[in-house]
Homo-oligomer: A and B are copies of this chain.
Amino acid sequence: MGELNHVVIVGGTHGNERIGIHLEKKFSQRPALVQRPSFSTQVLLGNPEATAAGVRYLDRDLNRSFERDRLQNQNLTSYEDRQARQIAQKIESSSHAPVDVIVDMHSTTSNVGLTVIIDQEEGFALKLAAYLQQQNSSIKVYSTAGAGRNRDALRSLAKFGFCIEVGPVAQGVLDADLFQKTEALVYMILDYLEQYNRHQVSLLNCSLTLYRHLGTIDYPRNEHREIQAMIHPQLQSKDYQPLYPGDPMFLTFDGETMSYEGTEIVYPMFINEAAYYEKEIAMCLTQKAQIIV
């Protein structure tokens, strides 16, 4: 065995993201697809009850339920709190514990194409990301370093957690093209991990384009927290494209344009993600950076 012994691939952390759900099912039925010689791979359906019901979650967002305090608090009895504890136990009691890498497969209604989320900007994650971008230049890398996702997300149970986000696809919809692209991306990650264990990785001065999380923007709301404007048609689907000060950002229901009032060029993503209305997020803002790995 190499340095990485145990990899977990997760689908259905959100029960209405069908691409990950059906890939998890495929990998479960044909484990050879995700096995590699130098490490063991486990496949996991994150939220079975939400998947059966076709909803994101039953009681609370499972992918925000993995803070260590929550996991240790037996008084929390929501379905997702119980499921989070069960997943943590399962992973930690596994014969190959601790788990080295978790790849969590998600989808989004926003136009993020093929995105890999890294939660820490450290050597291993950056090299993997650079490798993926080298293999497929359309892959976007979104860094949430500092945003706490390495504390509350399912993938935070591993030493190295990666999230795949593909879009746009509606909740509850299987998109064949994005299904195949997600599958190929999982294999690409597994192949990299195999190369890593075999010390065959050769990335010399490899350039990586990173989109670094800056913060979130909410919809304009009134005093009752009701939405007062929509994503502007000129911004809709423009994930990862530069937004300049003064550019249209929202459109009121009466057709008035509201502009981006910042002073800095930013790169929005997760624009108009259905599940983020309740989180009061209309989009995430990022900074684009080019780094050498």
Give the contact stretch, choosing among A3-11, A39-47, A165-173, A196-204.
A165-173
Given contacts A180-B255, A253-B26, contact A175 B230 (CB under 8 A): yes
**Nearest CB of chain B from residue A256's CB, rounded to whole Å:** 11
A275 CB contacts on chain B under 8 angstroms = 172
* B233-A272 in contact (CB<8A): no
Question: Does A62 make an interface contact (CB < 8 A)?
Answer: no
* A236-B170 in contact (CB<8A): no
- In the complex, the chain B residue whose C-beta lies closest to that of A232 is B176
- In the complex, the chain B residue whose C-beta lies closest to that of A275 is B172
* A171-B171 in contact (CB<8A): yes
* A231-B109 in contact (CB<8A): no
A192 CB contacts on chain B under 8 angstroms = none
- Which of A170, A175, A278 is most buried by chain B, counting CB atoms within 10 A of its CB? A170
- In the complex, the chain B residue whose C-beta lies closest to that of A174 is B230
A26 to B230, CA, bound (A): 13
- Which of A55, A173, A227, A255 is most buried by chain B, counting CB atoms within 10 A of its CB? A173
Question: Does A124 make an interface contact (CB < 8 A)?
Answer: no
A175 CB contacts on chain B under 8 angstroms = 230-231, 236, 272
Interface string of A173-203 (1 = CB under 8 A from B): 1111101100000000000000000000000
Question: Does A130 make an interface contact (CB < 8 A)?
Answer: no
New A-B pairs, 13, CB < 8 Å, besides A54-B278, A171-B274, A173-B274: A22-B253, A54-B277, A109-B172, A109-B173, A170-B274, A171-B171, A171-B172, A172-B275, A175-B230, A175-B272, A176-B251, A179-B230, A179-B253
Among all A-B residue pairs, the 8 with the closest Cβ atoms: A172-B274, A170-B170, A109-B170, A176-B230, A177-B233, A174-B230, A176-B251, A173-B274
The contact sample of 8 A-B pairs, CB cut-off 8 A, is A54-B278, A109-B173, A170-B173, A171-B274, A174-B227, A175-B230, A175-B272, A176-B232
